[in-house]
Structure 1
Amino acid sequence: MGAFVIGQMQIHNRDWMAEYFDKIPDVVAAHGGRFLVRGGNPSSLEGVGALPDAAFILQFPDRASAETFWASDAFQTLAALRRTGSELNAILVDALP
């Protein structure tokens, strides 16, 4: 069964972005994943919480692939870079059968 990583990001500075966004697609692909949404233009449909500056959805063939991606040294190195200028909320969910 497929799995999705869904994230919302608040960006505090953009110093990290060029390197991160240059490298992240290859790291995602190396684990069988692909971007369905990247960045976007978030707008509110319902709710009162603050909108993120950016959002993403990653699709993986299964939960194990998504978890392996997230724990990988390559991703964690990029995540440390990303954390220098942003905050991320991310969740992992299973696809419908």
Structure 2
Amino acid sequence: MAAYLIADVDVFDANAFEEYKRDVPATEQRYGGRYLGRGGAAKVLEGDWEPHRLVVVEFPDMAELMAWYNSPEYSRLKAIRERCARTRIIALEGIA
């Protein structure tokens, strides 16, 4: 069953973040990931959440999502992201 990576990214160094933004899609695609939303306009309908840059990526299943997240190719990019943004990320399993 599909699994979804959902991230709220608060970028504080936009120049450094460009490399991450440019290179990360190819790593996700190798694990079957595809963007459902990436940095578009967001509107809070309820609650006090103040999202920044929201990203939703669909993977074929949780195993592929975790394989990508723990992969050597993403590890390099994760280090870049951690230097230029504060991020909250969850992995959500879809329904059958």
TM-score norm. by structure 2 comes to 0.93
Segments of structure 1 that go 5 or more residues without pairing to the other structure are none
1:60 and 1:78 map into 2 onto residues whose CA distance is 18
Aligned CA-pair RMSD? 1.0
SS in 2 for 1:40: coil
TM-score norm. by structure 1 comes to 0.92
Structure 1 residue 42 displacement after superposition? 2.1
**Regions of 4+ moved over 3 Å:** none
Structure 1 residue 75 displacement after superposition? 0.9
Q: Match of 2:61, as an amino acid?
A: D
Look up the match of 1:78: 77
Give the paired residue count. Answer: 96
Look up the match of 1:11: 11
1:21 and 1:86 map into 2 onto residues whose CA distance is 12
Q: Match of 2:4, as an amino acid?
A: F
